[in-house]
Amino acid sequence: MYNRGIRGATTIARNEEEEMLSATLELLKEIVKRNEIVPEDISNVWITVTPDLDATFPARAIRGLSGWDMVPLMCSTEIPVKGSLPKCIRLLVQVNTNKGQRDMHHVYLNEAQSLRPDLSVK
């Protein structure tokens, strides 16, 4: 069994609590669905936000999901690089699996598709 990373990112329009929580859940649920994983398979989730997002901790959205209470979650702020994509939430889901690196399905939603157009679903 291997520990694989699954990346994902999305953007929101406003720095508002509900919008941050909703976007985080949408992104996580899409990662889980596309990769056919369950919380028991997940070793941890790293969550980062751009410095312009400070309305809440995105981990709050995940913590409220059934079965996710023992998954370690960590929030952090992205490096404030000039000209980078604003209002962006990123996830790194680390999962224990027998799948290969190329079998992981990364998820980029909304304006975050510009970060990895090669991995974005058309």
Whether 34 is a known active-site residue: answer no
Whether 4 is a known active-site residue: answer no
Instruction: Write down the catalytic residue from 63, 88, 102, 111.
Output: 63
Whether 60 is a known active-site residue: answer no
Whether 2 is a known active-site residue: answer no
Instruction: Write down the catalytic residue from 19, 26, 78, 111.
Output: 78
Whether 63 is a known active-site residue: answer yes
The two tokens of residue 85 are: 């994509």
Instruction: Write down the catalytic residue from 26, 60, 75, 111.
Output: 75
**Active-site annotation, residues:** 7, 63, 75, 78, 90, 108, 116
